[in-house]
Amino acid sequence: MKLIVFEDEAYQNLLPITYTRASFELRIGSKILLERIVERLKPEKTLVIARDYLKRVLEERYPRVKVGEEVSEDVIVVNGLLYLGETEYKTLKRLLIEESDKALFLGERLVAAKISEKILRKEGINIIYNHELLRKSVKIECVNGVRLIEYPWHIINYLPEIIREEFSICIDESPNIDSRVYVRGDEKLLHVGDNTVIEPGTIIDVRNGPVYIGCNVEVESHSRIAGPTYIGDKTIIYGGRVESSTIGVECRIGGEVVNSIIHGYSNKRHYGFLGHSYVGEWVNLGAGFTNSNLKNTYGEVKMNIGGQSINTGNIFIGCFIGDHARASIGTLVYTGKKIGVASHIHGTVIDDVPSFTFYAKSLGVELVELEIENVLKSVKRMMARRNVSLKPSEEDLLRKIYEETSNERSMVKAMKREISFKQA
């Protein structure tokens, strides 16, 4: 079986976290969406279709996956924003055994399709984006109950149930931990990887869901980790509270993290609160950083998506932070705000912040457009602290995004000028 994982237009709703990655690279549970799809379907060959400017980095990130190639054989195509859990897997299995070509739709969005060589030779793979033509060429079935991400808050909504689903029963009959680590609930719901150290005095609560702790992790004493939670390899928890969250590899986590996703190599080392939020890679949140995830009115949070105010339907929504962003000490972020790629935020943040922008309105400073060369210097310095180098392809990607987001900065009148707090 040949598998094609494609990116649809919904990636635009997920900006800025999808500027630096394809939509199928978003993380919810222990893996990104693409890894989950490939793991479950086990195809002979996998191809992906995404924005052109991501092609080079995708080829480097996934050397076994082909990017943007033409195909002229029977294929199964899957929307990259589909979380392939048990329900979704059963739906796709039924599609695979169909004798005829068929497409599955959730509303107006293509979920998956089985397309024959005959149709592909005639119409090409871009038929998956021409829904009128697709509907004329194959059978159509409307499906419900599948987890197809469309907006940022869907990721947060699905997070706890997905971790429970992935690690409903962990394999450790008796996890290798110090007897002075207190586990509340069934220890079978706790997995601890090799060379991981959990100091005495730590509490791990699995009553509401499993806790998976990877390899070479350090958890300092007085930490409290409550499931459902996943903590990636080489991460350090500095006496923090982590609950219902996914933490990527080599992160540094302190304070309180609740119902949030943090990609790899990001820092929230100190006290403060991160709740119902999504944080990209190589982000640094300074001491005292706190986001609001609940309005004073207890009303449903609205977010600005593509210039429109959309009701999330949730009373708990935090912030969504793009890769390489920086938050200074004491930064406070209002509910439902988006922080762009490589932006620097200070003080109280009451607006969405465009990518590559210095934001310190509450300190009396006008918006400043950051210089790309200075951004790259900062990025390289942070990565060097983890003995990682910025690849030429990743540098080119940041330069491209800088160009792509220039209009965002123009709209808020961010100007290239010297940054000064003298106005405060």
On whether both 121 and 209 belong to a single domain, the answer is no
The phi-psi region of residue 12 (left if phi > 0; otherwise alpha if psi is between -120 and 50; otherwise beta) is: alpha
Residue 163 CA to residue 211 CA, distance in Å, equals 9
| Residue 99 in tokens | 């004798």
Pairing type for strands 246-247 and 284-285 reads: unpaired
On whether both 124 and 247 belong to a single domain, the answer is no
The enclosing domain of 114 has a CATH number of: 3.90.550.10
On whether both 31 and 175 belong to a single domain, the answer is no
pLDDT digits (tens, 9 = 90+) for 394-412: 999 999 999 999 999 999 9
Q: Among candidates 147, 116, 150, which has minimal Cα distance to 2?
A: 116
Q: Which residues contact 18 (CB under 8 A, 6 or more apart)?
A: 11, 12, 26
Contact indicator for 140, 150 with CB cutoff of 8 Å: no
For residue 83, the enclosing domain spans: 2-150
- Is 186 domain-assigned? yes
pLDDT digits (tens, 9 = 90+) for 275-284: 999 999 999 9
- Is 417 domain-assigned? no
Q: Which residues contact 180 (CB under 8 A, 6 or more apart)?
A: 200, 201
Q: Among candidates 229, 232, 250, which has minimal Cα distance to 241?
A: 229
Going by pLDDT thresholds of 50, 70 and 90, the confidence category of residue 413 is very high
SS3 246: strand
Domain boundary among 132, 150, 168: 150
Contact indicator for 367, 359 with CB cutoff of 8 Å: yes
User: What is the pLDDT, as a whole number, of residue 424?
Assistant: 41
- Is 423 domain-assigned? no
SS3 164: helix
| Buried b / exposed e along 272-297 (16+ C-beta atoms within 10 A) | bbbbbbbbbbbbbbbbbbbbbbbbee
CA atoms within 13 A on the CB side of 136: 5
Give the residue carrying structure tokens 């924003």: 81
pLDDT digits (tens, 9 = 90+) for 145-172: 999 999 999 999 999 999 999 887 555 6
Number of domains in the chain: 2
Give the chain's mean pLDDT.
94
SS3 406: helix
Q: Rounded mean pLDDT of 109-137?
A: 92
On whether both 79 and 43 belong to a single domain, the answer is yes
Q: Among candidates 277, 359, 371, which has minimal Cα distance to 326?
A: 359
On whether both 163 and 135 belong to a single domain, the answer is no
Going by pLDDT thresholds of 50, 70 and 90, the confidence category of residue 69 is confident
Helix (H) or strand (E) holding 208: none
User: What is the pLDDT, as a whole number, of residue 171?
Assistant: 56
On whether both 102 and 18 belong to a single domain, the answer is yes
Contact indicator for 282, 324 with CB cutoff of 8 Å: yes
Q: Rounded mean pLDDT of 377-389?
A: 96
pLDDT digits (tens, 9 = 90+) for 224-257: 999 999 999 999 999 989 999 999 999 999 999 9
Give the residue carrying structure tokens 């590559």: 356
On whether both 27 and 57 belong to a single domain, the answer is yes
**CA 53 to the chain's CA centroid:** 19
Domain boundary among 128, 150, 172: 150
On whether both 352 and 232 belong to a single domain, the answer is yes
User: What is the pLDDT, as a whole number, of residue 376?
Assistant: 97
Residue 322 CA to residue 402 CA, distance in Å, equals 13
61-70, 89-98, 293-302: which has the minimum mean pLDDT?
61-70
- Is 418 domain-assigned? no
The enclosing domain of 398 has a CATH number of: 2.160.10.10
Helix (H) or strand (E) holding 191: strand 190-192
Task: Give the DSSP letter string of 247-300.
Answer: E-TT-EE-SEEES-EE-TT-EE-SS-EEES-EE-TT-EE-TT-EE--B-TT-PP
The verdict on whether omega for the bond into residue 160 sits within 30 degrees of 0, i.e. cis, is no
Q: At what angle do helices 372-384 and 392-404 cross, to 10 degrees?
A: 140
Amino acid identity, position 241: R
Q: Phi first, then psi: give them for residue 183, nearest 5 degrees.
A: -105, 120
Q: Is the pLDDT of residue 422 over 80?
A: no
On whether both 53 and 125 belong to a single domain, the answer is yes
Amino acid identity, position 23: S
On whether both 133 and 23 belong to a single domain, the answer is yes
On whether both 71 and 189 belong to a single domain, the answer is no
| Residue 229 in tokens | 């939670």
Q: Rounded mean pLDDT of 166-190?
A: 80
On whether both 193 and 134 belong to a single domain, the answer is no
Contact indicator for 196, 218 with CB cutoff of 8 Å: yes
Q: Is the pLDDT of residue 190 over 60?
A: yes
Q: Rounded mean pLDDT of 71-99?
A: 92
Domain boundary among 115, 150, 185: 150
